Structure 1
Amino acid sequence: MAADRRRGGRPPRSSRLSIRVRTTLGATAVVGVALVVAGVLVVLLLRRNLTASVDAAADLRVEDLVVALEDGRAPAELVAGDGDEVLVQVVAEDGRVLAASEDLAGVAALATDEVEGRAVDVPDESDPYRLVAEGVDLGDDDGLVVVARSAEAVEEGTETVAGSLLVGIPVLVLLVAGTTWVVTGRSLRPVEAIRREVAAITDAELDRRVPAPGGRDEVARLAGTMNAMLDRLEAGRDRSRRFVSDASHELRSPIATIRHELEVARADPSVVDVAALADRLLAEDLRMQALVEDLLLLARSDEGRLAAVRRPVDVDDLVLAEATRLRSLGGPTVDASAVTAGQVVGDAAQLGRVVRNLADNAARHARTTVRVGVAASGPTVRLWVADDGPGIPEADRERVFERFTRLDTSRTRATGGYGLGLAIAAEVVRAHGGRISIGDGPDGGAQVVVELPASGT
């Protein structure tokens, strides 16, 4: 339930912050943590190195004293020259202090065994000391040389560096935060400009474009993508407007004809031939019905709802049936000798519509002959319809697939064409994963070629 409330309620807190704020906070946090960790490591390593230096110096002093004592020099003579930074004791095996620095006078032995380096508190001394002790042969007896060296330099060096880091790290973090804030703001400025421009664009201003910054970064690609989307939207809007305008124009003619016939009949019913009037009105009604069906098919195509039925379809049967229909109309000669077997998967009614539209188009422009053919070649079934008419200029072979396109007076309403036949054929072919093109026919006219994926591919 809580998850449902979260999904349906307010967005997470992080999503309510701007990208600029989130980027700045993220960069600042990462850099801050990294600097703190690095600072701690630097202080620890520095302290370790300084301590090792103090221990090494104390160890050298111990070695010098051991050599001198073993050469027979008196302990009191050896410890007399050291200052406050180095304190020395020579301790007998039984723990008695045989000799000591002035600052250690009266102080018990600091160590009774060998020591390689450790912290030690020296009585009456405020500074920390590091202790090193090593055995020595005193001739009559064994002893121990003890050296305590001041570690004040370790503390001072560590405190100096730590203090510098305490001041420097916050300054660096603030510098990173400020730099990130400025750089992110400048980087997002083009995005904000794009957002404002897109927000200001209405459906009546699709010719506007978002500002495109130079370069090839993500913002430039975003601007290019947005402008490409606006290009598509503008083209779709213009196409819809042309479609509505052309459809209205085409429907106006049969509606006007029907109205005229009815007005004449109403004005003088005595002179009306009812049978002839019914024939004329039925013909106009059939034209309107055909146009509306074509418009509905194109609307389904725009919605991506073509080719909803996917069944094996024998293209050769569709072509042969259409050839028989054309012959029955008594028009041009139909040559179907090039029809061979070819099967695809799709909607038989829609593919039959393609064949009929191509056949009717060829029959309208043929002088004497229409040729049809089907051939299967590997993964493709190739269907073609050719005529021996005037052909289609190469510059117009793409344009004829646009809706309501007529190239000349031969494509008129009087011949039954609305300029939708090839457009519908192209939409259906594309919905079936094929392609359609126009070339020169074997008899000099136009040849429309349709290539569809064969069944089983």
Structure 2
Amino acid sequence: MRLRVTLTAVLVLGVALVAGALVLVALLGSVLTDQVCQEARDRAVQLSSSAERVPSTSSELVQWTDRSGALPGGGSPLATPGTGCVKVEPAGYSEDFVFSAAPLASGGQVIVGQPLVDVLDSTRFVSQVLVIGVPLMMLLVGGVTWIVTGRVLAPVTAIRTEVDGITASELHRRVPAVRKDEIGRLARTMNGMLDRLQRSHDAQQRFVSDASHELRSPIAAIRQHAEVAQAHPDRTNVTELAATILAEDLRMQYLVDDLLLLARSDEDHRPPPNTPVDLDDLVLATAQRLRSATNLTIDTTAVSAGQVRGDGTALSRMIHNLADNAARSARTRIAFTLTEDATTVILTVSDDGPGIPLADRSRVFDRFVRLNSSRSRESGGAGLGLAIVAAIVERHHGTVAIGTSAAGGALLEVRMPRLTAEAGGELGEEGHQDVGHEDHQHAAQDEGADRHR
């Protein structure tokens, strides 16, 4: 860049100086020639009013013509300027003259020629000065541009050197950002990027650490029961051992499925499918599952129609996780509400449990977060349920928030864009849900009702 800027500056300046020099020499020659023309004209007028016929000299050519335009002794004049001036190199001379004429009382003309040697000498001198001065000026501007550009780009070199030395283990390093110009803004932008990369790297490291910790628990339980059965076969039987291993295996399978879902959500930035989904059907199906699996009172009287656009399977998983989260905290009752306005569908799930403290509401959507009241591993929760909810809602361009229910428990509110009539009309046959597939998905999810947050 430094070389390109310098060469560009020198090239532009060189073109401008050469063009200016040519114009200057041309204008100078024209002005000086006009002055010589005026001198010749004045001299001709002067001689025409004088009775004395002055002969030619080394610095002036003078000729007198008769009425016919011929010289008194015969022959033709050196030039015929008419009423203006003409530039001619007369025969026998090695330089140009400017000729002008003035009429005589006798009917002839007096023709005066002034040499252009001074004009040529002046333009030649200026041309020589420009031939030397233009390259020197270009060299001077090139040097100054090279030095100034180097100083301007020095912070860029420092930034590049610092960034080149930053590795995955040194994301805490930052580039210098002391200037307040465009380069300073670039440095601050790059530091912001490094901040985001560091947070993402730290979150990934925590994620891997937490996932490893969560997976060790069922693996250790399986190994413990297998070792006990091997060392003391009389203390257990095949049925008990199989039931224990199956439960721990299912627990590990659900955890792996959740981890894979979150990993895909991190990698997949595509918009959700353009499919109409009736949230009221999904809410009522989830409520019916809770009625069959728990002794809680499930209130769906405030569930009305609500249609959005997106992935029906993912939205069913989102409602499933919200319901399971409420079921683990509720004492006697869970309430679902579903309403919509002109642009938004609003889903709430509330319970009459202890609620979520205000200080914890901003972190319950993080991965592997379990509040103190629900940290028991017997419930199977790995702290991923609400993280999955947040990922699904964000992919569907919605928001999820936590509040307090009328009974004092937790209230989780999901807002998503409503499917308008215009958007729904453009879907065609490709927009219909695969009902059989979704029912199968619900059945598979029902088996893991107790595994989420």
Contact 2:277 2:308 in 1 (8 A): yes
**What SS does structure 1 have at the residue aligned with 2:170?**
coil
User: Which residue matches 1:146?
Assistant: 111
User: Which residue matches 1:49?
Assistant: 31
Is 1:21 the counterpart of 2:27? The answer is: no
Runs of at least 5 residues in structure 1 that lack an aligned partner in the other structure: 1-18, 100-105
Q: Which moved more, 1:364-373 or 1:258-267?
A: 364-373
Contact 2:272 2:396 in 1 (8 A): no
Contact 1:342 1:381 in 2 (8 A): yes
**What SS does structure 1 have at the residue aligned with 2:353?**
coil
CA distance in structure 1 between the aligned counterparts of 2:317 and 2:281, rounded to whole angstroms: 13
Is 1:91 the counterpart of 2:84? The answer is: no
- Could you tell me the TM-score, scaled by structure 1's length? 0.86
Q: CA deviation at 1:280?
A: 2.0
User: Which residue matches 1:8?
Assistant: none
Superposition RMSD on alpha carbons, in Å?
2.2
Amino acid at match of 2:116: A
Any idea what the Cα deviations from partners look like across 1:391-410, whole Å, max 9, x if unmatched? Answer: 22223222111100122132
Q: CA deviation at 1:303?
A: 0.9
Q: CA deviation at 1:318?
A: 0.7
Is 1:408 the counterpart of 2:372? The answer is: yes
User: Which residue matches 1:3?
Assistant: none
Q: CA deviation at 1:264?
A: 1.0
User: Which residue matches 1:439?
Assistant: 403
User: Which residue matches 1:450?
Assistant: 414
Contact 1:388 1:441 in 2 (8 A): yes
Contact 1:307 1:347 in 2 (8 A): no
Change (3 A) 1:437 1:83: farther
User: Which residue matches 1:362?
Assistant: 326
Contact 2:280 2:303 in 1 (8 A): yes
**What SS does structure 2 have at the residue aligned with 1:116?**
coil
Bigger relative contact order, structure 1 or 2 (CA pairs below 8 A, ≥6 apart): 2
CA distance in structure 2 between the aligned counterparts of 1:410 and 1:113, rounded to whole angstroms: 115
CA distance in structure 1 between the aligned counterparts of 2:160 and 2:80, rounded to whole angstroms: 80
Aligned positions of 1:116-135 closer than 5 A: 116-122=84-90, 127-135=95-103
**What SS does structure 1 have at the residue aligned with 2:175?**
coil
1:278 corresponds, among 214, 231, 242, to 242
User: Which residue matches 1:33?
Assistant: 15
User: Which residue matches 2:185?
Assistant: 221
Amino acid at match of 1:373: T
Q: Which moved more, 1:24-33 or 1:302-311?
A: 302-311
Q: CA deviation at 1:180?
A: 1.6
Identical amino acids, percent of aligned pairs: 49
2:300 corresponds, among 330, 336, 343, to 336
User: Which residue matches 2:136?
Assistant: 171
Any idea what the Cα deviations from partners look like across 1:338-377, whole Å, max 9, x if unmatched? Answer: 1110111211111111101111111111222211111121
Change (3 A) 1:60 1:285: same
Any idea what the Cα deviations from partners look like across 1:250-309, whole Å, max 9, x if unmatched? Answer: 111111111111111111212313323222222211111111110010110111167654
Amino acid at match of 2:181: R
User: Which residue matches 2:154?
Assistant: 189
**What SS does structure 1 have at the residue aligned with 2:419?**
coil
- Could you tell me the TM-score, scaled by structure 2's length? 0.87
Q: CA deviation at 1:314?
A: 0.6
Contact 2:308 2:345 in 1 (8 A): yes
Contact 1:194 1:211 in 2 (8 A): yes
**What SS does structure 2 have at the residue aligned with 1:212?**
coil
Q: CA deviation at 1:31?
A: 1.3
Change (3 A) 1:421 1:98: same
**What SS does structure 1 have at the residue aligned with 2:372?**
coil
Amino acid at match of 2:61: L
Any idea what the Cα deviations from partners look like across 1:154-200, whole Å, max 9, x if unmatched? Answer: 11221121111111100111011111211221122111111111111
